[in-house]
Amino acid sequence: MTTLTATETLLHKGSGLQVVVGLGQSGLSVANYLTKQGYHVAVTDSQPTPALADQLPAAVDIRQFGAIDAELLQQAARIIISPGISLDTDAVAAARRANIPVVSDIQLFCEACTVPIVAITGSNAKSTVTTLVGQMAADAGINVGVGGNIGVPALNLLANPDMQLAVLELSSFQLETVTNLGAQVATVLNMSPDHLDRHGDMLGYHQAKHRIFQGAKSVVINREDALTRPLVADNLPRLSTGIHAPDKGHYGLITDPEGQIYLARGTERLLSADKLQIKGRHNLLNAQAALALGELAGLPLDSMLNTLQQFTGLEHRCQYVATAAGLDYFNDSKGTNIGSTMAAIEGLGAVYAPKDGKLLLILGGQGKGQQFGELTPFINKYVSQVLFIGEDAKQIEQHLRATKLSDEVALHQCQTLESAFATIQQVTTSSLSQVQAVLLSPACASFDQFSGYAARGEHFSQLVSQLATDI
């Protein structure tokens, strides 16, 4: 529906036009929010018929679809860009050169939000930690809103007048247009190469992520990852997490003489690792991050520890699927970058290594410009078979072969998950096979073969179920 041209409508209604670029869930939330605030709103999207177009409020009377309307953007008082659209898009870049403000829905949210914000980003584990902190708050009796890059658009949380705390997962795409977020507590959980096709290089990616610390009242730092450390005032309250014994007041791990691992705060043992339903060293770091964020947000420790023991993790994130023909199958389809896959290999590999077991790893999809040779040390230590699928399968194999890959690691080109499952049965039936677990952790985007990582993970789980049934 296009009633008037952009210029005609401006003449008709006056200045102050708010232009929403991109009509996904976040764009729709922006349109709804701004029209309720009485703003004059226009929406433009590159799709000829966006799926959500019929859900736009009637007050949006400028709807330019089929291309991002450069002329419309030049008329804007402010542009609200959806995270999936690059700032380098020609029409957007031209508007920025004209000094037209470009912000995200998160900027609108933080300007309107009157309750404390827990802000969480990182290359990996954002959704797990965000969900866990949200559950900790809810279990402690806090009226909490959880959203952002996970599930519910942030602006939709403002519809709850009784909200006491907002827990936001934030992507680098959302953060690159946010200024002075002002979170009660903020963290970058970890940093590894991701979205370099969008940010250009690690510096650009790092700069986008670290915008989360602007105006933060306290921070949580991963001691194992120097790239997570913010440039903030020394007197700003902070807690750190890590895999070693912590300093007083901070979080870490303590191992007793019998080899039992405990989550710890300073010298105090909080919880035995075997009491957690989420497994792997990476999940011990996730648990610490949630505890540290919760502490700085004012949540009671005993309640948080109770929540931790009940938490089973999220779908498609190192999720145990089933055991078939003696092999444990794990779905980590959410592992869409090499950092996530490193964590999955190391976290699960350490579980099977004491039993002389190895992993069979399924890699591949759209590589996003990453250097897959960085996986080699982890593969050499914990993996005996690598199966490649998807668009960049051959390139990924080339990256691994160009590094010091162990001769004991076998590589197989499979292209599809169906073919991969046929190969799994071929390479694991030998009595000499060390494989005890199959891990789908592709380190790649899924859009070459699937609608998203969830569809890829569901297909993997279906193939596991079918295999278990056929045995």
For residue 457, what is the domain's CATH number? 3.90.190.20
Please report whether residue 294 resides in a domain. yes
Q: Does 77 share its domain with 196?
A: no
Please report whether residue 252 resides in a domain. yes
Residue 30: CB partners within 8 Å, gap ≥ 6?
20, 80, 105, 108, 155
Q: Does 250 share its domain with 215?
A: yes
Tokens (6 digits) for 396 = 């990924």
pTM: 0.76
Q: Does 374 share its domain with 409?
A: yes
Please report whether residue 170 resides in a domain. yes
Q: How many CB atoms lie within 10 A of CB 84?
A: 13
Q: How many CB atoms lie within 10 A of CB 367?
A: 24
Looking at 283, 310, 337, which one is the last position of a domain? 310
Q: Alpha-carbon distance 266 to 248, whole Å?
A: 4
Q: Does 298 share its domain with 323?
A: no
Q: Does 323 share its domain with 465?
A: yes
Q: Does 370 share its domain with 230?
A: no
To the nearest 5 percent, what fractions of the chain are helix, strand and coil?
Answer: 40, 20, 40
Looking at 310, 339, 354, which one is the last position of a domain? 310
Owning domain of residue 259: 107-310
Q: Provide the domain count of the chain.
A: 3
Please report whether residue 1 resides in a domain. no
Q: How far is CA 338 from CA 123, 245, 341, in A?
A: 9, 27, 5
Give the domain CATH number at 295.
3.40.1190.10
Q: Does 325 share its domain with 205?
A: no
Q: Does 177 share its domain with 53?
A: no
Write down the pLDDT at residue 6.
Answer: 42
Q: Does 111 share its domain with 134?
A: yes
Give the single-character DSSP code of 382.
H
Please report whether residue 78 resides in a domain. yes
Q: What's the number of CA atoms in the CB half-sphere (13 Å) around residue 282? A: 24
Write down the pLDDT at residue 423.
Answer: 96
Q: What is the full per-residue pLDDT of the chain (471 aa) written as tens digits?
A: 333 444 444 333 334 999 999 999 999 999 999 999 999 999 999 999 999 999 999 999 899 999 999 999 999 999 999 988 988 899 999 999 999 999 999 999 999 999 999 999 998 778 899 999 999 999 999 999 999 988 899 999 999 999 999 999 998 889 998 999 999 999 999 887 555 555 455 677 788 889 999 999 999 999 998 888 887 888 899 999 999 999 999 999 999 888 889 999 999 999 999 898 787 778 899 999 999 999 999 999 999 999 999 997 788 888 888 889 899 999 999 999 898 899 899 888 887 887 789 999 999 999 988 999 999 999 999 999 999 999 999 999 999 999 999 999 999 999 999 999 999 999 998 767 899 999 999 999 999 999 999 999 999 999 999 987 776
- Please provide the DSSP assignment of 153-185 as one string: -GGGGGG-TT--EEEEE--HHHHTT------SE
- Output the CA angle 394-458-449, nearest 5 degrees: 35
Q: Does 289 share its domain with 328?
A: no
Q: Alpha-carbon distance 183 to 467, whole Å?
A: 47
Q: Does 363 share its domain with 401?
A: yes
Catalytic residue among 40, 126, 210, 358: 126
Q: Is 195 a catalytic residue?
A: yes
Catalytic residue among 32, 149, 222, 286: 149
Q: Does 26 share its domain with 132?
A: no
Looking at 266, 287, 310, which one is the last position of a domain? 310
Q: Which of 445, 338, 440 is nearest to 391 (CA)?
A: 445
Please report whether residue 117 resides in a domain. yes
Catalytic residue among 40, 124, 195, 283: 195
